[in-house]
């Protein structure tokens, strides 16, 4: 993957810009879900492969850790701050993009935890994408985190150095 010619500050701004764009997409899709779906009602989209089903999640990914939303709020905040504070050290285009994608996913769900009911730092994350196989219902931010982290793991296992 190509080396970056950006200055360190430009790298940080680039990661933040990618993250912001994805947060906007995430929040828009959640707004659409809230405006158009009834909680719990399944709306088939592609046969049995994809459906919309509005739910509210107060746990982490894959419904782990119910009742400790405040912990995930703190963890998400710390993860994003570390990502942004280290973004200036990224020297490769792919890593810069992955940092922005993962950051966008983190912040997309963090916005929900900070702003939605039942209250600040304990808000429930809006989930609405359902696939078969008893897979947890998820959202666009979850896709960003999952795809980004999968690609990070793949690149590291392929011998790439992080950053």
Q: Compute the distance between CA of residue 15 and CA of residue 92 in angstroms, rounded to an integer.
A: 12
- Look at residues 61, 86, 33, 51 and name the one whose alpha carbon lies nearest to residue 136: 61
Please list the active-site residues: 127, 142
Under a CB-based contact definition with an 8 Å cutoff, are residues 127 and 142 in contact?
A: yes
134: phi then psi, degrees, rounded to nearest 5:
55, 30
CB atoms within 10 A of CB 84: 16
The phi, psi pair for 45, rounded to 5°, reads -115, -50
* Tokens 């089903």, residue located: 53
């Amino acid at each position: 993957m190509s080396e970056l010619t950006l200055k360190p500050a430009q790298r940080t701004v680039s990661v933040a810009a990618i993250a912001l764009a994805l947060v906007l997409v995430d929040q828009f899709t959640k707004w659409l879900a809230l405006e158009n779906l009834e909680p719990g009602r399944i709306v088939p989209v592609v046969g049995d492969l994809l459906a919309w089903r509005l739910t509210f999640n107060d746990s982490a990914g894959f419904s782990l850790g119910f009742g400790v939303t405040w912990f995930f709020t703190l963890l998400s905040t710390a993860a994003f701050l570390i990502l942004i504070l280290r973004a200036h050290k990224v020297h490769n285009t792919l890593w810069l993009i992955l940092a922005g994608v993962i950051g966008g996913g983190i912040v997309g769900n963090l916005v929900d935890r900070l702003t939605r009911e039942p209250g600040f730092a304990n808000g429930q994350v809006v989930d609405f994408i359902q696939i078969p196989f008893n897979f947890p219902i998820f959202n666009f931010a979850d896709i960003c985190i999952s795809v980004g982290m999968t690609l990070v793991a793949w690149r590291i296992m392929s011998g790439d150095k992080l950053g």
